Homo-oligomer: A and B are copies of this chain.
């Protein structure tokens, strides 16, 4: 026998279908039928429907999500699981910007959200085996964060659990994801520079091979390949990799590159913003002004602590749009539909660090 129900926490007086049925003078099945939207298209007396609705409203009936799920129906719950602290004090690592879109789209589609407090201190760590299984309570789940517990996620996916990762994640076969189109966005920024007349453009990137970095370089190269003029002329490498931007990107280095005819620098955005930060500082230290002496562009958004500085030309990752796209993809998955285009366009940000090259368009030195 189950424990006395009044001693069960969180359930005091929560009405069930049986009680609604009693009040309405019908069977519990009928209540389920009426309240469940009658998917089977079974004929029901309008009278009965009305009485059931009235009774349900009077009692404040709400279906139990667990029971619903157990009975193989759906919850109208979408999970959100972050592998980094969900609401960290450091805002820049928060997933709030995504949540803006997730929440809006979820609302639009009639879903509530379950925030799995996965990785916060005190809660179950995402690393713990089985930590991810909690998400099965929801109809489907959104995942985000840098470090994914691959095994667990793979398992979930293999089991056919609807999961969508926010951010490109192709190493997990079969995992659906939505991501920002860094290639196109980067190309657009560089094209902006070539359109202004720049011919010698340098990309400063950090020394790792994350997809986000690779994509940006690809966009950079694409735009250069498509530009008119003496772009392919011999000269210094157009892409500079550095494991330690602060040490390598110095005022002297910038002066040297400018001396070689470089008129524009492009930095990739990373976690730390190291490349941009270093470039920014080095240009200033070299006594150069952007966009007067050189043009500067950032393939992404500036770190928060540089918010006071001049808005860099670049692009913004449409976090809210990504969140919304993720929800759309997830609900499509739930409906058994095919996945759509996973890439979301980034918005070009004109900023004010770019202009024509000092010597006029097309100048190479």
B-binding segment of A43-51, A135-143, A222-230, A241-249: A135-143
- Do A110 and B136 touch (CB < 8 A)? no
Q: Taking A73-B8, A160-B10, A162-B10 as contacts, is the C-beta distance between A134 and B112 under 8 angstroms?
A: yes
A113-B134 Cα distance, complex, nearest whole Å:
12
| Interfacial chain B residues near A335, Cβ < 8 Å | 9
- Min CB gap A5→B, angstroms: 7
Whether a CB of chain B sits under 8 angstroms from the CB of A170 is: no
For window 321-360 of A, CB contacts with B under 8 Å fall at 334-336
B-binding segment of A122-130, A176-184, A202-210, A284-292: A122-130
A69-B89 Cα distance, complex, nearest whole Å:
31
Whether a CB of chain B sits under 8 angstroms from the CB of A250 is: no
- Do B115 and A103 touch (CB < 8 A)? yes
- Do B62 and A136 touch (CB < 8 A)? yes
In the complex, which of the residues B61, B86, B129 contacts A103, with contact meaning CB atoms closer than 8 Å?
A: B86
Chain A interface, number of residues (Cβ within 8 angstroms): 73
- Do B65 and A133 touch (CB < 8 A)? yes
A100-B133 Cα distance, complex, nearest whole Å:
24
| Interfacial chain B residues near A103, Cβ < 8 Å | 86-87, 115, 117, 120
Q: What are the interface flags for A46-85 relative to B under an 8 Å C-beta threshold, 1 for contact and 0 otherwise?
A: 0000000000010011111111011111110100000000
- Do A130 and B62 touch (CB < 8 A)? yes
B-binding segment of A11-19, A26-34, A185-193: A11-19
- Do A112 and B113 touch (CB < 8 A)? no
A72-B96 Cα distance, complex, nearest whole Å:
32
- Do B3 and A137 touch (CB < 8 A)? no
Whether a CB of chain B sits under 8 angstroms from the CB of A155 is: yes
| Interfacial chain B residues near A69, Cβ < 8 Å | 66, 137
- Do A108 and B133 touch (CB < 8 A)? no
Interface secondary structure of A, over-half rule: loop
Q: Taking A62-B134, A113-B117 as contacts, is the C-beta distance between A10 and B73 under 8 angstroms?
A: yes
Whether a CB of chain B sits under 8 angstroms from the CB of A237 is: no
- Min CB gap A158→B, angstroms: 8
In the complex, which of the residues B3, B138, B140 contacts A72, with contact meaning CB atoms closer than 8 Å?
A: B3
Q: What are the interface flags for A267-303 relative to B under an 8 Å C-beta threshold, 1 for contact and 0 otherwise?
A: 0000000000000000000000000000000000000
- Do A9 and B100 touch (CB < 8 A)? no
Residue from A62, A106, A138 whose CB has the most chain B CB atoms within 10 Å: A62
Q: Taking A12-B161, A87-B100, A122-B107 as contacts, is the C-beta distance between A62 and B133 under 8 angstroms?
A: yes
A65-B111 Cα distance, complex, nearest whole Å:
16
Whether a CB of chain B sits under 8 angstroms from the CB of A104 is: yes
Q: Taking A9-B334, A10-B74, A60-B133 as contacts, is the C-beta distance between A116 and B112 under 8 angstroms?
A: yes
| Interfacial chain B residues near A120, Cβ < 8 Å | 103-104, 107-108
**Chain A residues at the B interface, C-beta cutoff of 8 Å:** 2-3, 5, 8-14, 57, 60-67, 69-75, 77, 86-89, 96, 99-100, 102-104, 106-117, 120-124, 129-130, 133-134, 136-140, 155-156, 159-162, 320, 334-336
